[in-house]
């Protein structure tokens, strides 16, 4: 274990980092926060932390880069709004990239966590107003989250119209329903424990969406089994039931969440895990088709790279002995903003024209894309229930490959291949 994991001592007199909601989270129940432009953080789970510190070298290209551990605390700002602040741990300078949020909005406009939906801070608020509002929120909190949770379950597929001019990603700060749900529930849990504890460990991971202008994200729950070896009988039974009632049992994969930009209508489509569980195998295929469709046509140029990476990942996992990736997910990410190809002999004037067109609505908000820029990404995430013979404390040691996960990968390869062939690729 790293020194950061063995100690909770915060480095003294160090400037903290304001953690903001990660707006591109589409699945999972663990809260994910934005540390800076290229780094995310999430609550540290010992098993997941151990996975990142010991994972085989050939798997690193298929997982987010692990960047270390930070301490996260509650703090109040001058307006008495609760914020989450990250600090480096003593003896862990090498792993934590300490930067401030200089690329964020001014302080008076920063998004903070509350136990309500995210909102912009008011610059004028009297103490009496704050106390009155705070008491009202405390009175409502016992049923507020349940109400929103039920709303999200009923609203399994949502559409949000975005402005084509301006930064599309910034508009997601207020409208990603799954991200809001995770933020609210995590904050509520931490607030309930605040009297006994106000310091938590979070791990730092690469932000896989940072290279994309408008990230389209597909979260797939992989494998035919989701419960870990340490799950209670009730938890195991619940996970088994979910698998049996979804495509997990039939093809080893199900939709856990989706965010896709449909250029044809200028809308973002969100699909949550409750809808994903109801899909038949044909429905799963249609959802996958919808993920690669921009509302006008299928993004065929993405299918080949996706198939290549899925095949490479399958080969890597077939070489891993004893690993079981229970309840982990696979992310597929691409840019919903299409970029025109520029030939190698284009001169500077052509590139300047393209840059100017990027702000022009008639040009479709396109901008110059450098030759060789990555078009699609495939990564494994969420390893809180992963096990391996290297984890000496585990009571169960598995042999051979993770057949359920590999089965799901092969099913995914087959379905993407079918979509490609039927579309005339």
379 and 292 belong to one structural domain: yes
In a domain, 267, yes or no: yes
pTM: 0.75
pLDDT of residue 222: 97
Find the range with the poorest average confidence among 24-28, 150-154, 205-209, 258-262.
150-154
Instruction: Please provide the DSSP assignment of 101-155 as one string.
Output: -TTS--GGG-B---SSS--BPPS---HHHHHHHHHHHHHHHHHHHHHHHHHHHH-
Handedness of CA 129, 132, 135, 141 (dihedral sign): negative
**DSSP strand pairing (267-272 vs 157-161):** antiparallel
The rounded distance, in Å, linking the Cα atoms of 338 and 334 is 10
The pLDDT > 70 percentage for the chain reads 64
Residue 34 has pLDDT above 50, yes or no: yes
203 and 267 belong to one structural domain: no
pLDDT of residue 186: 64
How many domains, the chain?
2
The rounded distance, in Å, linking the Cα atoms of 314 and 312 is 5
296 and 378 belong to one structural domain: yes
321 and 256 belong to one structural domain: yes
In a domain, 76, yes or no: yes
In a domain, 69, yes or no: yes
Query: Per-residue confidence at 350, pLDDT binned at 50, 70, 90?
Result: very low
302 and 381 belong to one structural domain: yes
When the pLDDT of each residue in the chain is averaged and rounded to a whole number, the result is 76
Chain center to CA of 23: 8
In a domain, 108, yes or no: no
Q: What is the DSSP letter of 231?
A: -
187 and 270 belong to one structural domain: no
pLDDT single digits (tens) 271-310: 988 899 999 999 999 999 999 999 999 999 999 999 999 9
pLDDT single digits (tens) 372-384: 344 899 999 999 9
User: For residue 71, which of 168, 204, 190, 245 has the smallest C-alpha distance?
Assistant: 204
Domain span holding position 281 = 211-338+372-424
- Tokens 């590139």 belong to which residue? 351
DSSP-derived 3-state class of residue 397: coil
In a domain, 65, yes or no: yes
In a domain, 330, yes or no: yes
pLDDT of residue 302: 96
**Burial of 30 per CB tally in 10 Å (0-12, 13-18, 19+):** middle
The pLDDT > 90 percentage for the chain reads 47
Handedness of CA 409, 414, 419, 420 (dihedral sign): positive
Query: Per-residue confidence at 77, pLDDT binned at 50, 70, 90?
Result: confident
189 and 291 belong to one structural domain: no
Instruction: State the DSSP H helix or E strand holding residue 66, giving kind and residue range, or none if neither.
Output: strand 66-76
Residue 356 has pLDDT above 80, yes or no: no
């Amino acid at each position: 274990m790293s020194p950061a994991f063995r100690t909770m001592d915060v480095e003294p007199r160090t400037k903290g980092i304001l953690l903001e909601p990660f707006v591109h989270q589409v699945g999972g129940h663990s809260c994910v926060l934005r540390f800076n432009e290229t780094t995310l953080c999430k609550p540290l789970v010992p098993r997941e932390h151990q996975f990142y510190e010991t994972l085989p070298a050939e798997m690193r290209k298929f997982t987010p880069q692990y960047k270390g551990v930070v301490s996260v605390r509650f703090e109040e700002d001058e307006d008495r709004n609760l914020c989450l602040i990250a600090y480096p741990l003593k003896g862990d300078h090498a792993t934590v990239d300490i930067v401030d949020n200089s690329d964020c909005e001014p302080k008076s406009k920063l998004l903070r966590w509350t136990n309500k939906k995210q909102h912009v801070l008011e610059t004028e608020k009297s103490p009496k107003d704050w106390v009155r509002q705070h008491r009202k929120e405390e009175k409502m909190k016992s049923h507020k989250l349940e109400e929103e949770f039920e709303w999200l379950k009923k609203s399994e597929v949502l559409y949000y119209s975005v402005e084509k001019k301006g930064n599309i990603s910034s508009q997601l700060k207020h409208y990603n329903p799954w991200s809001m749900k995770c933020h609210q529930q995590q904050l509520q849990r931490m607030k309930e424990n605040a009297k006994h504890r106000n310091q938590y460990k979070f791990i730092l991971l690469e932000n896989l969406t940072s290279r994309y202008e408008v990230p389209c994200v597909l979260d797939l729950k992989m494998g035919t089994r989701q419960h870990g070896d340490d799950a209670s009988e009730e938890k195991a039974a619940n996970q088994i039931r979910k698998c049996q009632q979804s495509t997990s049992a039939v093809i080893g994969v199900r939709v856990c969440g989706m965010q896709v930009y449909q250029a044809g209508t200028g809308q973002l489509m969100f699909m949550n895990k409750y809808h994903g569980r109801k899909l038949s195998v044909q429905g799963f295929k249609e959802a996958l088709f919808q993920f690669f469709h921009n509302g006008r046509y299928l993004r065929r140029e993405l299918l080949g790279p996706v198939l290549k990476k899925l095949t490479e990942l399958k080969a890597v996992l077939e070489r891993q002995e004893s690993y079981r990736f229970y309840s982990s997910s696979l992310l597929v990410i691409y840019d919903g903003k299409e970029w025109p190809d520029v030939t190698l002999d284009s001169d500077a004037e052509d590139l300047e024209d393209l840059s100017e067109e990027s702000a022009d609505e008639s040009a479709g908000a396109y901008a110059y894309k450098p030759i060789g820029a990555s078009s699609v990404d495939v990564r494994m995430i969420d390893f809180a229930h992963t096990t391996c013979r290297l984890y000496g404390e585990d009571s169960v040691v598995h042999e051979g490959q993770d057949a359920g996960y590999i089965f799901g990968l092969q099913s995914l390869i087959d379905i993407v291949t079918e979509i490609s062939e039927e579309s005339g690729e």
